[in-house]
Amino acid sequence: MWDFIYSLMTDKRNGGVFKILKAILRVASVLYGLGMVVRTLLYKYKIFEIHSVPMKIISVGNITLGGTGKTPFVVELTRIFREEFRKEPAVLIRGYGWDESAMLKAKLKDTPILVGEERARSARRAIKLYGSDTAILDDGFQHWELGRNLDIVLVDSRNPFGNGCLFPRGVLRERKSSLKRADIVVLTKVNFGTGDTEQLKAEIWKIRGDIEILEAVHRPRHFYDTKQRKDVDLSRVSGKRVMLLSSIGDPEYFEDTVKGLGAVVVEHIAFGDHHNYSESDKSRIIKRCSERAFDLIVTTERKRCCKTGKDEYNLFGSYRSCSSYSYRYNKRQGGLDWQTT
């Protein structure tokens, strides 16, 4: 059901009865927008409490539904704070599924990953149990309950704001004007961008003229062979017929990446972001694989969900941002005590 609704939100279904369904979603988006305004005012006028904790809080979020590359960015940012700023960070996540927390724990073995909807409580636990002095608040832009020192918002340069409509008619969680609350905007996937990056920057600067805008690229680094349990070179898929399996916010980007490595994509079985695979899902995947002629399966970076009898590669990526801009920004902030050396 969600996949069908998402196809309406992203205008992949048009005409006939779909127009009626989109009109219903548009009405729902108006109600959703009113709810967001009321919620914002309740926090603004302190009817709802904003909790503060004795540590630095850096929020990483977005204003669209998934697909901005937030999880790998959180990993890279956490490493910067640990290695460059010599801090003891913790990562606070709500926990949408096993894949997100498992990936973070695997990549950040020396960093506490605290899962829970009450992020203020998680922050206090990080201080008490781990002695953390900094917390990265994952998906925190709409999480008003916990105060923060810095708001970083990721915007997908390939598809910044969808069709411009609020959820559920579009993919916007908040209106574009909400970017005025952000301190830094990071344009992700600029190496795959199909639009005018400078025009997008100008659009954002119209919302807030002094906002810092960085550019980031997300590149594949290697594959992981799940049978042999070892890394393999990206060239391994060149000229191969592959089946793709994903459950991320931007499956088109994943497919374009694999095609860019020279693979021939036979079929892409795409599920919703952070999808938990059911037995029926596994049966469907196995059935589709048995019906197609291909050489191997390529999945996003997660555990394999079922055995198909074919070689399976997980695609691992790396995130790189314009660090010189990031450093310059941090040096300007009088309210923050972390500095470059």
Q: What's residue 309's pLDDT?
A: 55
Q: Rounded CA gap, 320 and 70, in Å?
A: 13
Structure tokens at 188: 């992700």
Rounded average pLDDT over 298-324? 56
pLDDT tens figures, 187-242: 998 887 666 899 999 999 999 999 999 998 888 888 888 888 888 899 999 999 99
Q: How far from chain centre, in Å, is Cα 299? A: 17
Q: How far from chain centre, in Å, is Cα 288? A: 28
**SS3 (DSSP) at 12:** coil
Q: Rounded CA gap, 171 and 174, in Å?
A: 9
Residue with the larger pLDDT of the pair 160 and 300: 160
Write down the domain spans for the chain. 56-218+320-332, 219-317
Q: Rounded CA gap, 153 and 340, in Å?
A: 22
Please name the fold of domain 56-218+320-332: Rossmann fold (3.40.50)
Given a cut of 80, whether residue 96 has pLDDT beyond it is: no
Q: What's residue 317's pLDDT?
A: 55
CB of 315 closer than 8 Å to CB of 251: no
Structure tokens at 280: 């029926």
Q: What's residue 101's pLDDT?
A: 84
**Fold identical between 56-218+320-332 and 219-317?**
yes
Given a cut of 70, whether residue 337 has pLDDT beyond it is: no
Please name the fold of domain 219-317: Rossmann fold (3.40.50)
User: Considering the chain, what percentage of its residues have pLDDT values greater than 70?
Assistant: 86
Given a cut of 70, whether residue 5 has pLDDT beyond it is: yes
Q: What is the average pLDDT value for the chain, to the nearest integer?
A: 86
Q: What is the 3-state secondary structure (H, E, C) of 197-262?
A: HHHHHHHHHHHCCCCEEEEEEEEEEEEEECCCCEEECHHHHCCCEEEEEECCCCHHHHHHHHHHCC
Most confident of the following: 32-36, 274-278, 337-341: 32-36
Q: Rounded CA gap, 192 and 199, in Å?
A: 16
